[in-house]
Amino acid sequence: MSNTITILFFGQLQDITGSNRAQVSMASNTDLLREQLIAQFPLLEETTYVMTVDRKIVRQNTPVDERSEIALLPPFSGG
């Protein structure tokens, strides 16, 4: 079992974080992951983005595990 989880960044979020991915300590849900990401990358707190878990946009706290694919995407429009 891994003690870290990989977060992928896309678009302007790569500029904010300086990378297309980051390793953070394993967390059991997306709210805890967000807290860790903001601690590591404070500019994320003032940035609009969506989080995905296993390629599905999540808008509320969602459980995650070391196998989850987590990504932060910049705002997008279209339909």
78 inside domain: no
pLDDT at 1: 52
Structure confidence by residue, pLDDT tens digits, 32-75: 999 999 999 999 999 999 999 999 999 999 999 989 999 999 98
The domain tally of the chain equals 1
Confidence of residue 19 (pLDDT cuts 50, 70, 90): very high
Q: What is the DSSP letter of 27?
A: -
Calculate the alpha carbon distances from 78 to 18, 28, 75 in Å. Answer: 27, 32, 10
pLDDT at 48: 93
* Nearest alpha carbon to residue 1 among 65, 64, 62: 65
Confidence of residue 2 (pLDDT cuts 50, 70, 90): low
Domain, as residue range, for 48: 4-73
79 inside domain: no
33 inside domain: yes
Give the CATH number, domain containing residue 68: 3.10.20.30
59 inside domain: yes
User: How many angstroms separate the CA atoms of 79 and 4, rounded?
Assistant: 35
